Amino acid sequence: MSSVHVKAALTEAREALDNLLADEAMLAEIDRAGEIMAEAIRSGRRIYSCGNGGSLCDAMHFAEEMTGRYRKNRRPYAATAIADASHLACVANDFGYEEVFSRYVEGVGQPSDVLLGITTSGTSRNVIRAAEAARAKGMKVISLTGKPGNPMAALSDVAIVTPGGRYADRVQELHIKCIHIFIELVERRLDPENYRDE
């Protein structure tokens, strides 16, 4: 019986990926996100990422792949996940959890920096507040969400809404694929020698 559930889970995941592959407009948005990120790095700007729970883990994964390495060695790219425990605890205690990301953006964000906001529902208030703060500072906002017509998408310069299905796990699985593609797109634009042997 358990193998039935395994197959059902993998089939649902495959269907979600197929749905994304079939959405040419969304694929173009993913490419545009990579272009915006690459231009920010090329111009000496920084990318900030944020999210809650698994989305925060994805935000951290994105930043460490940017500052560390992806597939091959290259220079580090300026990226920071808003994930410092002392900052999050301080702001949550003093201002409320809705402000944990926006306070950071207000403190360190600069015009033409980029915010990558990750929220499967597109309704996480603290990620939305971060997007509002980023826009007020003249930053670009890229969002990864999972439900059409969400408020986070409405605040974004590039809104990538992945068709994950009923639950957040399928959405998150597509988000990590998008994150890896973002990094590859940035590398292809800024360090194309990493791809010359393909």
Which of 80, 75, 46, 45 has its CA nearest to residue 62? Answer: 80
Q: Is 120 annotated as a binding residue?
A: yes
Q: Is 11 annotated as a binding residue?
A: no
Q: Is 172 annotated as a binding residue?
A: yes
Q: Is 94 annotated as a binding residue?
A: yes
CA distance 39 to 58: 22
Residues 6+ apart with CB under 8 A from 37: 47, 114, 116, 142, 182, 185, 186
Question: The sheet that has 79-81: what strands, in order across it?
Answer: 79-81, 47-50, 114-118, 140-145, 158-161
Q: Is 5 annotated as a binding residue?
A: no
Q: Is 64 annotated as a binding residue?
A: no
Residues 6+ apart with CB under 8 A from 95: 103
Q: Is 169 annotated as a binding residue?
A: no
Which of 105, 81, 102, 107 has its CA nearest to residue 92? Answer: 102
Q: Is 53 annotated as a binding residue?
A: yes
Q: Is 145 annotated as a binding residue?
A: no
Q: Is 61 annotated as a binding residue?
A: yes
What are 82's two structure tokens? Answer: 């808003």
CA distance 23 to 19: 7
Q: Is 52 annotated as a binding residue?
A: yes
Binding residues for substrate: 52-54, 65, 93-94, 119-121, 124, 172
Binding residues: 52-54, 61, 65, 93-94, 119-121, 124, 172, 180
Binding residues for Zn(2+): 61, 65, 172, 180
